[in-house]
Every structure is written in structure tokens, then in C-alpha cells.
Amino acid sequence: MAYDPSTRDVALDETALAQLFTEARTRNDFSDRPVPEALLRKLYDLTKFGPTAVNSTPARFIFLTTPEARARLSPFMSGSNQAKTLKAPVNVIIATDNAFHEHLDYLFPHAPGAKNWFADEAARKEGAFRNASLQGGYFMIAARALGLDVGPMSGFDAAGVKAEFFPEPNVEPNFILNLGYGTDVNLFPRSPRLAFEDAAKIL
């Protein structure tokens, strides 16, 4: 069924919201059920539609789907993240392309010369990191929408991962997540969240 824009103000039902948010969990263990390449491609194709500044889309993704590829990553993971990395059917390295502006003639065609807005390297890197992180968030929600589970990790040797997987000087790893069909092994009780009054204001 084609998407009908007239229904865009209709909220998802509680089942969908539970799958994406309220009942979704960070998984520390995964079954051996494989994740087909077609599903990984669909996952990226959903993620790419999330908004970024000037459509910069600076995130870059490496999907590690074989034991050999995961073995290249695991030495750079800290502590228990090593075992989790080897167990998951897919590891995803989400990286930031600090030279994203070189693609803006294609990505932002209604503003010719937009790449010149990012001549300042420090500002460009700040924007790249912010927007690549946004895309990482979209990626996790898209994965859950497709029935997958995620286990994001920030405990890793960034310099080692860069040297192993990103020879281009402008691309740097942001964070890593495990992807697949999660189990309840080593699943922590859900941690508290801040109440609205503690984290938000309406002015």
C-alpha cells in the first residue's frame, strides 16, 4: 500500500511504539539467526532519509558480517565488548566523514557552492560529528522497525579501528553496534529514566 500523506498526523499504535521505544532493549547477546544482505541494504535505505543539516548525511557504515571480519574488529573492543562483538551476527561501524562537504553539489543541489560554507575545518568537523550521530540514532530506530535488535557500544580503541578499517584520512569511527536478533542472556533490568520535569521545559 502506498504512503498517503493525508494520514501523516496519525500516530503509530502502541504495538509499534513498544517495538521502537518502550519495550525495546539494548541487547548484550544475539542468536545465530543470520541477517540477510537485502535486509542490511533496506536498513540503510531507511536510515538515509533521516534529516541532517543541509542534507549532509556524513555517516558512513561498515557492516561486518563474517567471522573473519568480526575477528578484525574484536581486538579493538574493550572488556566484555570483545565477546559480544564475536557473538553478534553483524557488527556495524558507524563513522563520520569529515569531508562530507565535497558531496554537497549532489546532495544539496538547490544551493550551488554550498560546500564553500564549510571551509572552516573545526566547524565542519563539529557539524559532521553531530549529524553522523543523528544518523546513528536513525539507524537504530530503523533497525528496530525492521524487527532487528541493537547493542550500541562506545568502548573501543578508536585509533585502532580507524587504522584497520578507514584508510582515508577524513573518515573517523563514531561508535559501534551489534545487530541481529537478540536474546535475553545478560539482559539488564531496565534502568530508570528521568521524568519530564527533570529533563524538559515548556516555555
Enter the pTM of the model: 0.95
Q: In what order do the strands lie in the sheet with 90-97?
A: 59-64, 90-97, 171-180, 149-153
Measuring CA to CA, which residue among 30, 6, 15, 4 is closest to residue 149?
A: 30
Domains and CATH numbers, the chain: 28-184 (3.40.109.10)
Question: pLDDT tens for residues 94-123?
Answer: 999 999 999 999 999 999 999 999 999 999
What secondary structure letter does DSSP report for 184? Answer: S
Measuring CA to CA, which residue among 51, 5, 39 is closest to residue 144?
A: 39
Question: pLDDT tens for residues 26-74?
Answer: 999 999 999 999 999 999 999 999 999 999 999 999 999 999 999 999 9
Q: How confident is the model at residue 148 (pLDDT cuts 50, 70, 90)?
A: very high
Which H/E stretch holds residue 174? Answer: strand 171-180
> In this model, does residue 150 exceed pLDDT 80?
yes
Yes or no: say if 98 and 128 are a contact pair by the CB < 8 Å rule: yes
Spatial separation of the C-alpha atoms in residues 36 and 17, rounded to whole Å:
25
